[in-house]
A and B are shown apart, each in its own frame.
Chain A
Amino acid sequence: MTFTERALKILKYNRLTAIGAGIVLLVILVGVFAPVIAPYDPNVIDVPHRLGAPALKHLFGTDEMGRDIFTRVLYGCRISVSVGIAIVCVSAFFGILFGSISGYAGGKVDNVIMSISDMVLSFPSMVLALALTASLGLGLFNTMLAVSIVKIPVYVRLVRGQVLSLKQRQYVKAARTFGAPPFWIIWKHIIPNSLTPIMVQMTLGLGDAILMAASMSFIGLGAQPPTPEWGAMVNSARAYAIDQWWYAAFPGLSILVTVVGFNLLGDGIRDILDPKSKQG
């Protein structure tokens, strides 16, 4: 069965994966078309209408500056999802690079890379990301960088394991016999054959990356006001949430729905790309 056939079959019979795919598609569309869909400017202040409850004019109500929360949630979708995708891509890129070098070279290079990787893994990821961002300086870019660095070892370990197994295969040995340089062998033979578990890990890691970046913004390290990032919005809403429930409810609900979508899709992609790991 080809990849497309398997994907279509799983989407048809596994309703949860289909729901996940639908949510992700919707989130991406909302992110792309936010300026078209949004009824207001996300940063325009309208003090007379501050902290207004949800109504037809402002579907999700307004915040303490009178800004439309629905508009800010739509724009926040762009930021949160792109941050998640950027984190996963950066950490996967460096994970693949260091993991393949470590597994292929072996010996001292392997020891050094794996020791650094283990050192990073010996921290709780949230705490290390917090300390890294504090060192690098507050802001969304530094948060993305910090969370990416924290996530790299997961990919290093995964890719190294794949490389160790693949480099014993006949076709890799044959390429080596013909004098192919190591980087060519890694690029042409090893990475393409390790892509399945990497893709699965990337999709499953997306929801986690979005959550972590939002948490960093919530404690004041990531996106800074007035950026309409979901975590930062819930942080601003804290002082008002008890009396104006809508202020914190909608940005948080958006994170929940988005992460549920990515997690469901991740499980589905795992089933498509790696049927052996399908859980009962």
Chain B
Amino acid sequence: MFSFHYIRNQIIHLLLVLIGVSIITFALSHVIPGDPARMMVGDKASAATLARARVELGLDRPLTEQYYKYVTGLMHGDMGISIRSQQPVSSELKKFFPATLELTLSAMILAVIFGIILGVVAAVHRNKWPDHLCRIVSLIGVSTPLFWSGVVALIIFYKWIPIFPASGRLDTFMTPPPQVTGMYILDGLFAGQMDVVLSAIHHLILPAVCLAYVQLAIIARQVRSSMIDVLEEDYIRTARSCGIPTRRILYHYALKNALLPTVTIAGLTLADLLSGAIITETIFAWPGMGKYVVEAITFLDFPAIMGFTMIVSCVYVFINFIVDMLYRFLDPQIREVDK
């Protein structure tokens, strides 16, 4: 399927990118801020306390040594101690990650399904009303501030037509299911607690739809454009002239090829959704990493901010890696070029 050289090169590339990410986060946490020790002990600390903090943080050592210590720490899951809670950042992020993953995965599923449907319908009915609708939905989607759509959704669906809850992951007084994945819908299903599953879905709908909308617009645009290209190909014309039914041409021949570029977009979508979660979680008081980092910003909790940056960037890099492999797996032409 993949040549040894290809996989080796990809893994080397992945490692280089991860080293690059670690260099940037190191620079952001150790070099750019005036004095991380001062940030840790506060402005009113004495010179002796400051000096002790500098030694404790290893800031009295050369930069190369600090970087080495930083990377080895990261490899052991050490992202420092949160200034706000005095707890290890890695264990706090581990606690909040499942909620963010549940929100982003749900948003991604919504964005991909509805984005593809909208894109296909627009391409098939090119320059007719479904196409215009797709354009309007896409334009508004890429132009709407995510934080505003969340607030508007709350005003409409919590205050004016009260059908969705405003915050949290479950109804008040409901006990979370026994933790397996940390995602309440899956854990509720595993435990057979349907009331928990329904409550989790009820709480998830509004934030997930708001988060999905921007990405839905981008996917719909991409699918529309690649579907139009494919529909103009000779083999589609040949299929039409052979009398193959339109539905079969669309879904059996055209969509398969049109979806290839969408794989890349969908992969990147997950990464963008992780960034978007910062805002959505803040609005809907969703107890995930995004809300955690915004609270960290309020308290200038630097280790927590950098830990979040590192985690999201690593996920982003891995997703890009997987998308690249998947793309080659799905498209035989690219595999031929590699050979």
- A: residues with CB less than 8 A from B are 115, 118-120, 122-128, 130-132, 134-136, 207, 211, 214-215, 218-221, 231, 234-235, 237-238, 241-243, 245, 248-249, 251-253, 255-256, 259-260, 263-264, 279-280
Choice from B17, B29, B145, B159 contacting A256 with Cβ under 8 Å: B145
A249 to B149, alpha carbons, bound, how many Å? 10
Q: Are B154 and A242 in contact (CB under 8 A)?
A: yes
Q: How far is the CB of B98 from chain A (nearest CB, A)?
A: 19
Q: Are B279 and A219 in contact (CB under 8 A)?
A: yes
Ordered by A's residue number, 6 sampled pairs between the chains whose C-beta atoms are within 8 Å are A127-B308, A128-B24, A130-B293, A135-B28, A237-B151, A256-B145
Known: A122-B316, A251-B148. 4 other contacts (CB 8 A): A130-B278, A135-B33, A215-B145, A218-B147
- How many positions in chain B have a CB within 8 Å of any CB in the partner chain? 53
Choice from B25, B143, B272, B282 contacting A124 with Cβ under 8 Å: B272
Q: Which residues of B contact A264 (CB under 8 A)?
A: 139
Q: Are B283 and A256 in contact (CB under 8 A)?
A: no
Of chain B, the residue at the smallest CB distance from A263 is B143
Q: Which residues of A contact B154 (CB under 8 A)?
A: 241-242
Q: A115-B20, A118-B20, A124-B275 are in contact. Are A234 and B148 (CB under 8 A)?
A: yes
Q: How far is the CB of A178 from chain B (nearest CB, A)?
A: 40
Main secondary structure of the interface of A (DSSP, over half): helix
Q: Are B20 and A119 in contact (CB under 8 A)?
A: yes
- B23 in the interface, Cβ–Cβ < 8 Å? yes
Q: Are A211 and B275 in contact (CB under 8 A)?
A: no
Q: Which of B55-63, B252-260, B296-304 contacts A (4 or more CB under 8 A)?
A: B296-304
- B134 in the interface, Cβ–Cβ < 8 Å? no
A264 to B271, alpha carbons, bound, how many Å? 26
Contact residues, B278-301 vs A (CB, 8 A):
278-279, 282-283, 293-294, 297-298, 300
Q: How far is the CB of B291 from chain A (nearest CB, A)?
A: 10
Q: How far is the CB of A217 from chain B (nearest CB, A)?
A: 10
Q: Which 7 A-B pairs have the closest CB atoms?
A: A252-B148, A119-B20, A126-B275, A259-B143, A135-B32, A131-B309, A124-B275
Q: A120-B24, A256-B140 are in contact. Are A128 and B309 (CB under 8 A)?
A: yes
Choice from A123, A130, A241 contacting B151 with Cβ under 8 Å: A241
Q: Are B21 and A123 in contact (CB under 8 A)?
A: yes
Q: Are B126 and A136 in contact (CB under 8 A)?
A: no
